Amino acid sequence: MRKITAGLFIAADGVVESPEQWHFPYFNEEMGAAVGAQLGAADTVLLGRVTYDAFAGAWPAREEAGGEDAPMAKALGDTRKIVVSRSELEFTWRNSEQLKGDLTEAVTALKAEPGGPIGMSGSTSVVRALLAAGLIDELHLFVHPIAVGRGLRLFDETADPIRLELLSNTAFTTGVLHTVYGPADK
């Protein structure tokens, strides 16, 4: 069975919304390597529509520009991308398709397909649903030393408890903690 790894930038107060407004001062080579390892190991990327739109609006242009992140942009472009959305979508970024059917059933079937790891980045509502369904094998939280104060949090007050087991924890020189959790009940 394929493994799903999800990665999220998160503030110390649990906010995951709009990381582009607070994340970049903490980005360094350590974090780039960790994010690249988590997402780059995947042969399939599962994304919510909002995250997909942000990625599709940035990465193809970065690949075309040929700058220092062009290899990562090309790798993302070459990777199979599956987008979760209730609305019918049209794609302009290569290797993109829409997840069909019930989220839990479709992702369970995807995990049973032959292939390598399935990576996720952002996509908070999809991560929440898959965590609740017990389908995420590793949750990579990049905890930033900032309290944003307002915005969408990873876990809301209505969520049922989800027991997690600490798999690893690494402190970066910027103060960001790369904390990896797995399901405690597996």
Q: Is 115 helix (H, G, I), strand (E, B) or coil?
A: coil
3-state secondary structure 142-177: EEECCCCCCCCECCCCCCCCCCEEEEEEEECCCCCE
68 in a structural domain: no
Task: Name the percent of the chain lying above pLDDT 90.
Answer: 83
Neighbours of 75 (CB within 10 A): 15
8 A C-beta contact, residue 184 and residue 164: yes
131 in a structural domain: yes
Task: Name the percent of the chain lying above pLDDT 70.
Answer: 98
Of 90, 104, 55, 53, residue with least CA distance to 76: 55
Q: Is 11 helix (H, G, I), strand (E, B) or coil?
A: strand
CATH of the domain at 110: 3.40.430.10
179 in a structural domain: yes
Per-residue pLDDT tens over the stretch 97-114: 999 999 999 999 999 999
Q: Show the domain range for 39.
A: 4-48+80-183
Order of strands across the sheet with 118-121? Answer: 96-98, 80-84, 44-48, 118-121, 4-11, 138-144, 177-183, 164-171
Cα of first residue to Cα of last residue in the chain, in angstroms, is 14
| Ramachandran angles phi, psi of 124, nearest 5° | -55, -50
User: For position 82, what pLDDT does the model report?
Assistant: 97
Q: Is the pLDDT of residue 156 over 80?
A: no
133 in a structural domain: yes
54 in a structural domain: no
> How many distinct structural domains can be found in the chain?
1
Q: Which two tokens stand for residue 38?
A: 């988590």
106 in a structural domain: yes
Q: Is the pLDDT of residue 26 over 90?
A: yes
60 in a structural domain: no
Q: How confident is the model at residue 186 (pLDDT cuts 50, 70, 90)?
A: low
Of 169, 182, 154, 129, residue with least CA distance to 14: 154
123 in a structural domain: yes
Q: Is the pLDDT of residue 158 over 70?
A: no
Neighbours of 66 (CB within 10 A): 11
